[in-house]
Amino acid sequence: MNTSLRAMSAPRLDELDALEFGASRTTTYTVECADPHRHDRAVRLLIERMYEWRGLTPVDTDLHTTRPDRITLVASDDSAIFGTITLGLDGKDGILADALYPDELRNLRQRGARLCELTRLAMDTHHNAKEVLGALLHLVYIHGRLLHGVTDVVIEVHPRHAGFYQRMIGFSYIGEERVCPRVSAPAVLLHLELAHMDEQIGLYGGTSDPSVRTLYPYFLSLGEQDAILRRLSAAH
């Protein structure tokens, strides 16, 4: 497995207080690192509810906040948690996608890729889904790309959802359909070189430009990104 990660010495997003965002200029929400004492039950219920709504059966919905190679973020407003995502960093134990796609990930590692994966993404679509998902993705990008130097991200998704990740983020297929035991459903493996995300954030981050048919206008601006990095550096 790829063991070139920085020994987990980089600062983590959980060293920040909750970050406040404005959604569509009318409401505010916060994004923070999941706390098992405050968020575990709410995150589990959100994942189970949103996955079951899509016909999936999640097996592992517990938080893994004690693992230094994973970070779970939650988005919430005054009433409830309505979004979550987990970033997994590659290391001596690999990543979850190795169970179904060992050959595909081995090929990426042999090409020099430093991998991370996205898992347990759940979003209540009654909220400002584009804005919130853009913020969540940008914050895991900061953690993986800018703090730990990963170069590539993978995600296992249901085949019928793959088109969204291709159109809206730029992922491409690298693994054929297989049955994922973690959700008892078919999955395909998607891959993205983070150099593409670098470019798209620089072009569109923070613009909210409706003419751009991707999620990148709903990412943070470079100025907001740099401010978060400065806060992380100060906390570290």
**pLDDT tens sequence across 31-75:** 888 887 788 888 888 877 777 666 666 655 555 555 788 888 998
Dist. CA 35–CA 67, nearest whole Å:
13
- Determine the average pLDDT of the residues in 94-101: 95
pLDDT of residue 102: 97
CATH class name, domain 13-235:
alpha beta
CA distances from 218 to 31, 69, 77, 160, 212 (A): 15, 26, 18, 23, 10
Q: Is the separation of the CB atoms in 81 and 75 below 8 Å? A: yes
Query: Is the pTM value of this prediction over 0.75?
Result: yes
Dihedral Cα 99, 153, 16, 123, nearest 10 deg:
-80
Tokens of 56: 């999936």
Secondary structure (3-state) at 66? coil
Q: Which amino acid is at 231?
A: R
pLDDT in tens, 145-195: 999 999 999 999 999 999 999 999 999 999 999 998 887 789 999 999 999
What percent of the chain shows pLDDT beyond 90? 52
